[in-house]
Amino acid sequence: ELPSGTNEHTKRTTMKKAIFPGSFDPFTLGHYDIVNRGLALFDEIIIGIGRNSTKKDTFPIREREEAIRKIFKDEPRIRVEIYDCLTVDFAKQHDAKFILRGIRCVEDFEYERNMAEANRQLGDLETIILYTHPEYAHISSTLVRDLYAYGKDVTAFVPNELR
């Protein structure tokens, strides 16, 4: 039996696997930065593109999947998958105990805290939050979508493979 105060997360595991869930519509330099920094913390990161019934897609989900795979084609520790269930169930399928998320500003905080609490309660998942690099703090998928819709240059906001 485990001493009090220890749980699944305080036990030493050999393989630290995290899910990086999001819509990634599209994947931006902000997302890219979080994933790359996450590689220093986890052995494997599974980028989960959530199929969202309430949000309207701008870029088709298969295109997003393909683009993100291309970005990380030389990184064997990254996997990219589409999922259409709760993040806790997706994590369970992959035997992942961690969720990786990014925070840009105070507005992100409340939302992330509620999600983290729900995922801890529902799936015993621990959420690891990284603060965004100041250089990318203003970048959002929404911004990129707006620029794209008006035919503007998005190269400063997305990884090379999406340019």
- The catalytic residue positions are 31, 55, 104, 141
> Minimum distance from CB of 75 to ligand ADP (Å)?
18
Cβ 82 vs Cβ 61: under 8 Å: yes
CA atoms within 13 A of residue 144's CA, in its CB half-sphere: 22
Minimum distance, C-beta of residue 5 to ligand ADP, in the bound complex (Å): 28
Pick out residues in 63-102 that bind ligand ADP (CB under 6 A): 101-102
The CA distance from 53 to 51, in Å, is: 7
From 141, 144, 159, 162, residue interacting with ligand ADP (rule: CB under 6 A): 141
The residue type of 54 is T
136 binds ligand ADP, rule: CB under 6 A: yes
Distance CA 4, CA 9 (A): 13
49 binds ligand ADP (CB under 6 A): no
Residue with the two structure tokens 């790359």: 36
DSSP β-bridge partners for residue 101: 129
Kindly tell me which of 97 and 127 has the beta carbon lying closer to ligand ADP: 127
Interacting residue ranges for ligand ADP, rule: CB under 6 A: 22-24, 28, 30-31, 34, 101-104, 108, 132, 136, 139-141
